[in-house]
Amino acid sequence: MKINSATFLVSAPDLASCPAHELQEFAFIGRSNVGKSSMVNMLTGRKDLAKVSATPGFTKLINFFTINNAWSLVDLPGYGYAKVAQRHRTEFNQAVADYLQHRPNLRCTFVLIDSRIPPQHMDLEFLGWLSGCGLPFALIFTKSDKLSPKALQASVADFRTNLAEVSEVQPEIFTSSSKLRQGRNEILGFIATRLVEPTG
C-alpha cells in the first residue's frame, strides 16, 4: 500500500468523543517506550505525525489519523503507566477498553511488543483480555535491529509459548524495525487485505 496522505484528525478522551466517520480503523497499542510513535511515523512516512500523541495532554487520548482518505490509524494510549495515580489509570484504561469493545469501525488492533525483553505480564494480561473479548489482533515485535535474527526468532517463539497460556488465538505476527524501516510493507499489506470494500 502506498501512503499518499496521512493527516491528524482528532484526539478523543473517551468513546463518545470518537469521530463520527465511517472509515475503518486499525489501532496500535503497547507499553510505554515500546516504539509506537516511531512505528506510526514509519508506517505513514511522516516523520513527526505521532508527535501529536506525545504532546503533553495528548498521551492519554485516543488519537485518530486519516490515511489516504481511506482508513484511519488509531494511536491508543500506552498501557503500563505504573507511576500514574491509580484513579487516573483506571479512567484511562476504561476509555481504551470502551473503544476496543464498542467501536464498530475497529478492524484490528496491533499490539506492539519490545522484542528485546522477555514476555511481560502486562502484555500477556492485555492480550488475554483482547482474546477473551473475541477482538481481532496482531502482534508487532519492535526494535528487531537490536537483536540477531536468531535471538529475534527465539524471543518471538518464547512469547508465542507464553501467549498460548492466555489466548487460544494464534495471531498474525510481524517483526519490525522503525530504524531500518523493516516490517513496513508487511504491516501495510496486512491492513490492505483487511480493508473491507465499501458496498454500493
How far is Cα 68 from Cα 45, in angstroms, rounded to an integer?
Answer: 12
The verdict on 5 binding ligand GDP (CB under 6 A) reads no
Which residues, 22 to 41, sit near ligand GDP by CB under 6 A? 30, 32-38
The verdict on 143 binding ligand GDP (CB under 6 A) reads yes
Q: What stretch of H or E contains 36?
A: helix 36-44
Residue number with CB closer to ligand GDP (145 or 186)? 145
Q: What stretch of H or E contains 166?
A: none
What is the nearest approach in angstroms of ligand GDP to the Cβ of residue 27? Answer: 14
What is the nearest approach in angstroms of ligand GDP to the Cβ of residue 95? Answer: 18
The verdict on 51 binding ligand GDP (CB under 6 A) reads no
The verdict on 177 binding ligand GDP (CB under 6 A) reads yes
Residue number with CB closer to ligand GDP (24 or 176)? 176
Per residue, the 3-state secondary structure of 70-86, as one string, reads: CEEEEECCCECCCCCCH
User: Does residue 60 contact residue 12 with C-beta atoms inside 8 Å?
Assistant: no
Instruction: Give the interface size with ligand GDP as a residue count (CB under 6 A).
Output: 16
Contacts of 27 (CB under 8 A, 6+ apart): 74, 75, 76, 99, 100, 106, 108, 109, 110
Residues that bind ligand GDP (CB under 6 A): 30, 32-38, 78, 142-143, 145-146, 177-179
